[in-house]
């Protein structure tokens, strides 16, 4: 059997087999997942992979107005940088389950209302301080505080109390929540010394790398943390992340050899990029969605008929064909798709200019509607906006499009202007997605969806341990968002990334693109 595993590990090293397939084949051979993972780590590194070297990444999303505080990260660049220097208590594994990080074990009372996380021994922060349960407590307190602006604020709602006891972090909830560990994998919740209360932007954490230089919106350089506790992560000696928001330039940097991997390959050129010598494209179905968001509490979008008019005025099939080029699927004005385990099908909303015209007339609105967009919001967003403009015109609706600068889009337009293009990468669970962006009190409620009945259902679903009842609750919540909210979701996108043959170790992963933003940490230089 070991000879067969050696052969399979060689295929992984050559990127001919991904990690998920390797584990499946190893399981069929009678190996446990733990044994297979251990074997893969040692055997693959012996098959041409090298420790050391530099991995160079081109990524989108960053701008000069970003924050280094993990609580305030809003884009892909910040998420990947967070992964370099910091770690959460738990993290998603490649199958969408959970793996232990700074928690070595966890347990819950039978009603899933009190959770205990045992903090891993022997872990130190990059400043030399030992990790303690008090640091975990302080981190959660900072993100959940009354004055918090953290992107994780919504998912931490429902916590009754938190405390540290010895090496354990204990959370008591207002009601049962079987999803709590998934919520704590959120990329904002990097554990910091004293929770980051002293200096939240210091980028001091327990991660595999130490940030040596940080030019916001430009470039980040990281060196391997010599005291990092986990030998399975952080193979390269150095990682360089360059922010390239222009799609063409980002792909060109990979093609020319300036970088070893790039994020978010535009769907319209994905097939061409895949034919480049020494380049492999990875297109992975996801919970990510390209959207148009309306502030439902701001005129003219505070009128339900106007919101419905715009929802019927968009041609979703055309969007999937002409913007995603088949790398995705139609959306239905809900942030939830079949990527989520408790997903329920709903009647697909289709392009209907007659219904759009009916609701537009009923709204009483007169005049054009301003839509703001940018290349930085999602690949092809300006083109998608023009398609929307054309399909809406057939319903008698005039959209004026304003193309905003990419730099500063996430700080000056998203979550501030009442109608714009945006994207979400999805979350680990429906509760996490709804809590982050649709709960009335969530700081990232970017459609200004304030619905007391929805909030009550969300909290009730957390406490419902009957799967069938919980599934129905989520279906009801999805209907509320779809029919009453300010989300126009025409499409769910595949995550499309690309790597050169100078790196190896790619695995199909749940979560975000770029292997849940762990690609430079989990992959290795080939020579």
pLDDT one-digit tens code per residue, 303-312: 999 999 999 9
Q: Where are the beta strands (DSSP E) in 374-466?
A: 399-403, 419-424
Which of the residue ranges 16-25, 157-166, 495-504 would you say has the lowest mean pLDDT?
Answer: 16-25
Give the residue with greater pLDDT, 187 vs 2: 187
pLDDT score of 1: 46
Q: Where are the beta strands (DSSP E) in 417-480?
A: 419-424
pLDDT score of 193: 98
Task: Extract the tokens encoding 240.
Answer: 């360089």
Mean pLDDT of 270-278: 93
Taking 90 as the threshold, does the pLDDT of residue 239 lie above it? yes
Which CATH code for domain 87-196?
3.90.76.10
Give the residue with greater pLDDT, 6 vs 424: 424
Mean pLDDT of 66-95: 96
Taking 60 as the threshold, does the pLDDT of residue 14 lie above it? no
Q: Identify the CATH class of 54-59+207-284+495-525.
A: alpha beta
Give the residue with greater pLDDT, 115 vs 467: 115
Task: Extract the tokens encoding 164.
Answer: 């540290």
Give the residue with greater pLDDT, 87 vs 23: 87
What architecture (CATH level 2) is domain 289-493?
Answer: Roll (3.10)
Nearest to 314 by CA among 421, 418, 391: 391
pLDDT score of 44: 54
pLDDT digit string, tens, across residues 113-160 = 999 999 999 999 999 999 999 999 999 999 999 889 999 999 998 899
Query: Predicted confidence band at 337 (pLDDT cuts at 50, 70, 90)?
Result: very high
- In this structure, how many other beta carbons lie within 10 angstroms of the beta carbon of residue 403? 13
Distance of alpha carbon 481 from alpha carbon 483, whole angstroms: 6
pLDDT score of 51: 83
Taking 80 as the threshold, does the pLDDT of residue 18 lie above it? no
- Side-chain half-sphere exposure of 49, counting CA atoms within 13 A: 28
Mean pLDDT of 331-353: 95
pLDDT digit string, tens, across residues 197-237 = 999 999 999 999 999 999 999 999 999 999 999 998 999 99
Mean pLDDT of 336-350: 94
pLDDT score of 465: 81
pLDDT digit string, tens, across residues 409-463 = 999 999 999 999 999 999 989 999 999 999 999 999 999 999 999 999 999 999 8
Sign of CA dihedral 99, 102, 107, 113: negative
Taking 50 as the threshold, does the pLDDT of residue 275 lie above it? yes
Helix axes 19-28 and 33-46, enclosed angle (nearest 10): 120
pLDDT score of 328: 95
Query: Predicted confidence band at 372 (pLDDT cuts at 50, 70, 90)?
Result: very high
Paired strand residues for 110: none
pLDDT score of 178: 87
Alpha carbon 418 to its chain's center: 23
pTM exceeding 0.75: yes
Task: Extract the tokens encoding 503.
Answer: 């790196």
Alpha carbon 34 to its chain's center: 26
Q: Are 176 and 465 in contact (CB under 8 A)?
A: yes
pLDDT score of 265: 96
Give the residue with greater pLDDT, 202 vs 2: 202
Mean pLDDT of 391-395: 98
Taking 50 as the threshold, does the pLDDT of residue 86 lie above it? yes
pLDDT score of 243: 98
Helices (H), 398-488: 409-412, 430-437, 452-463, 467-484
- Over the chain, what is the mean pLDDT? 92
């Amino acid at each position: 059997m070991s000879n067969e595993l050696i052969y399979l590990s060689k295929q992984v090293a050559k990127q001919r087999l991904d990690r998920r397939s390797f584990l499946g084949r190893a399981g069929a051979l009678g190996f446990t997942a733990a044994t297979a993972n251990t074997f893969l780590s040692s055997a693959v590194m012996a098959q041409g992979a090298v420790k050391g070297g530099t991995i160079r990444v081109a990524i989108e999303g960053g701008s000069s107005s970003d924050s280094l505080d993990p609580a305030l990260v809003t884009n892909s660049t910040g998420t990947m940088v967070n992964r370099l220097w910091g770690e959460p208590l738990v993290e998603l594994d490649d199958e969408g389950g959970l793996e232990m990080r700074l928690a070595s074990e966890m347990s819950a009372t039978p009603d899933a209302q009190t959770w205990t996380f045992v903090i891993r021994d022997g872990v130190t922060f990059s400043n030399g301080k030992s990790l303690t349960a008090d640091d975990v407590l302080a981190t959660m307190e900072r993100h959940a505080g009354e004055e918090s602006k953290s992107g994780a604020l919504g998912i931490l709602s429902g916590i009754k109390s938190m405390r540290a006891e010895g090496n354990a972090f204990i959370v008591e909830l207002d009601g049962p929540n079987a999803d709590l560990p998934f919520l704590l994998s959120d990329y904002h919740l990097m554990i910091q010394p004293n929770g980051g209360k002293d200096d939240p932007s210091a980028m001091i954490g327990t991660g595999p790398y130490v940030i040596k230089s940080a030019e916001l919106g430009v470039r980040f350089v990281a060196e391997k943390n010599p005291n990092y506790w986990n030998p399975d992560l952080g193979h390269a000696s150095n990682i360089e992340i360059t922010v390239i928001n222009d799609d063409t330039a980002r792909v060109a940097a990979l093609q020319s050899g300036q970088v070893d991997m790039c994020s978010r390959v535009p769907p319209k050129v994905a097939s061409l990029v895949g034919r480049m010598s020494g380049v492999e494209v990875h297109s992975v179905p996801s919970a990510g969605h390209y959207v148009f968001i309306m502030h439902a509490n701001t005129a003219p979008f505070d009128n339900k008929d106007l919101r419905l008019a715009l929802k019927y005025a968009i041609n979703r099939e055309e969007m999937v064909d002409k913007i995603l080029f088949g790398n995705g699927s139609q959306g239905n004005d809900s942030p939830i798709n079949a990527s989520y385990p408790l997903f329920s099908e709903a009647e697909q909303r289709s392009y209907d200019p007659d219904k759009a015209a009916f609701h537009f007339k009923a709204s009483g609105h007169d005049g054009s509607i301003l839509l703001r967009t940018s290349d930085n919001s999602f690949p092809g967003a300006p083109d998608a906006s023009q398609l929307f403009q054309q399909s809406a015109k057939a319903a008698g609706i005039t959209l004026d499009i304003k193309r905003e600068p990419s730099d500063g889009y996430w700080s000056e337009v998203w979550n501030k202007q009442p109608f714009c293009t945006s994207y979400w990468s999805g979350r680990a669970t429906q509760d996490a997605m709804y809590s982050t962006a649709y709960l009335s009190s969530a700081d990232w409620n970017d459609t200004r969806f304030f619905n007391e009945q929805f909030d009550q259902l969300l909290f009730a679903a957390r406490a419902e341990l009957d799967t069938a009842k919980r599934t129905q609750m989520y279906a009801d919540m999805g209907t509320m968002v779809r029919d009453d909210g300010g989300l126009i979701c025409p499409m769910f996108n595949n995550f499309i990334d690309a790597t050169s043959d100078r790196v190896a170790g790619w695995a199909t992963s749940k979560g975000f693109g770029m292997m849940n933003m762990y690609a430079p940490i989990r992959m290795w230089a080939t020579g």
